[in-house]
Amino acid sequence: MFCFGFALVPIYDVFCEITGLNGKVSGPTITEYDDNFNSREIKILFVTKNNENMAWNFTSEKRTLDAETGTAYTVDYTFENPTDYPMVAQAIPSVSPGKGAQYFHKTECFCFEEQLLQPGEKLTMPVRFIIDPDLPDDVPVLTLGYTLFDISESHIKLQASN
């Protein structure tokens, strides 16, 4: 059972990458646009969710944002470990609708790395992103969702085996 739990997040990542399901977005990208692109306004929704057995408080500073394509934005997320023991977490992102995922470019994200919080520790971390001006016109709203997984046990076992 431990092996299954340990392998769940990487397997999920590979599955999403192969199938394109869950609006899986790629890692950091840096995109610059010249002054000749046509921007438009879209709405971005921010959703946070804890996976089963994840005790952390996990929230976004904003629930929605009216954004212009081609413009860089930063949204902060707050993490708090209310337990009396250290925990390690991994955030898994998704963008929906799926056809909009390739136009959502994150340049900095807490989801690129595992996060360790000590008991009672609270931390605010940014997500920096830009929406590609080539986003299809029939996509007026994008939802950026994160599911937070507790990977403490697998992290500790991995360290013990080294």
Q: What is the pLDDT of residues 61-108, one digit of tens each?
A: 999 999 999 999 999 999 999 999 999 999 999 999 999 999 999 999
Residues of the chain whose pLDDT is less than 50? 18-20, 23-25, 27-30, 33, 158
pLDDT of residue 19: 43
| CB-count burial class (<10 Å; 0-12, 13-18, 19+) for 121 | middle
SS3 153: helix
pLDDT of residue 38: 75
pLDDT of residue 39: 86
What phi-psi label fits residue 136: left (phi over 0), alpha (psi between -120 and 50 degrees) or beta? beta
pTM of the model: 0.76
Domains of the chain are: 2-161 (2.60.370.10)
